[in-house]
Structure 1
Amino acid sequence: MKLHIVPARTGLEWVRQGITVFWRQPMALAALFFMTMAAMSLATMLPLVGPAVALSLLPSATLAMMVAAAEASQGRTPTPALLLVAFRTGKQRLHAMMTLGALYALGFLGVMALSALIDGGQFAQVYLGGAPLTREMAEAGDFQAAMWLSLFLYVPLSLLFWHAPGLVHWHNVPPVKALFFSIVACWRNFGAFTVYGLSWLGVFLAAGLVISLLVTLLAAIGLGAAMAGGTMVATAMMLAAMFLTSVVFTFRDSFEPPEQAGAQAEPPQPSPD
């Protein structure tokens, strides 16, 4: 396995490819994203361990979207069966993906625990869905400090796990090594990932502006808040699905293609031009 160093402008290409591939199979990819989110939401309902179980499913959910995007880029229609792709590729990969999930849950809960040292756990309770966010709470200095600390700590955590599911699935890399290779690849391609993040930020802001104008128009013609709220939620879900669709292209360009494919589609190969 060889790491590829790509120019900074590649980050913009990753965004373009993610959006393009999403619109090749919008219903299939959006439905798969919705099912992954629904599965994680159901997991949170488990007594005591629900939030931890839901967090541990995130690497598998990311992998499902990566494989689905690879399928769509190769002209095939992703199916709901891809939701279980992490659990159908042999015991070794299954154990590796479960280990990744456990490590992610521990890392995320660790970030929340550190933030709780600042504000007594208010931010953690709000973020994990256990408490409502009030204006007074949001304006509190301790709450804001805990929020920024969580963001600061979550960035390296997300980079550790960015490529890890793909490395386990397509390259059969052990979990700990996958985490190491993932953060090294993100660091070595810092310019491309910076452009990638800023480009997606621009997409989200532009979409937010358009939706705000649309909501204002709907309210002006008396169609009600329900339709406006539904439009905002649908747009947010679609943008999140597009974002996850683009992840496989960051993986493809960062690593040499595997010698042998797994049970599902290989990462999409770069176009000749």
Structure 2
Amino acid sequence: MIRPGKAPRKNPRRGDELVVVSGASSGIGAATARALAAMGHHVLAGVRTDSEADAIRADGIEPVTLDITVPEHVEALARRIADDPERRVLRLLVNNAGIEINAPVEVLPLALWREQFEVNLFGHISVIQRLLPFLRRSRGRIVNISSVGGVAALPVFGAYAGTKFALEAASDSLRREVSAHGVQVVVVQPGGVRTEMAARSGAVSLELAAGMSPGHQRLYGSLIKATVASNAAFLEHALPAAKAGAKIARVATTPRPRARYTLGRDAAFIIPLARFLPARLMDGILAMSHRSRTPEPAPALESTGGRS
């Protein structure tokens, strides 16, 4: 069992408030949890293992077992909030948990499509449904971590982008449903951020590609390699997770938030292009970008037998 966190050092302004951050074991989630704790909040940081709990536990950060696709975990989190020994209110929910498994639409198995939607969309909806009564009582805030992929669907990112497009739509509906209740809903759209998930995604894509049929390798092998190479090159200069978390914490606590915030220069550049450029022109820009990264020639990928 994951042990309770230490009692927080109370900030006179925010020490009586709880916040929840899902997917807090590493990357953006861990950085956001630390930034919010430094502001004086008591953070219930969602993790899945004891080792992750030990890594994130700190003054003001209490790890809680939370796989957002497991109803019992979500219910236990709600009981923890309801039974808080200091009767602190839940002020903020940051829905950050996510997975990323990239492959062409034709190639990615339906089971992996469903897995990404379970985590990146349905899990968040489950948490929102269960915790919204607490946030209504406190007139609190929900921050949904989307992606540049929630506006611009890049090649090979169809399933991941699909989950983020759906989260964007659900966030719009939710914002319009609960604003009269005093609950605010904010979307943050990160671009490239240096995280473990981002670093792993390229290797996962190549492993999936290695298991493709020879026909699919001929059709998509070069595209996948070019996409992985492009992302790897970009991540070398991407926003560090600590800076991303600090920005999300500021957004989460600003008095009068906007409905959406971009995070990183690439998101600030790509999202307006995707919204306002004609689709065929955007397709051409992306095709040129990938051609510049395409290996010459692309040998057949060696089969490894599937996913790690």
* TM-score between both structures, scaled by the size of structure 1: 0.27
- The structure that is helix-richer by fraction is 1
Where relative contact order (Cα < 8 A, 6+ residues apart) is larger, the structure is 1
- The structure that is strand-richer by fraction is 2
* TM-score between both structures, scaled by the size of structure 2: 0.25
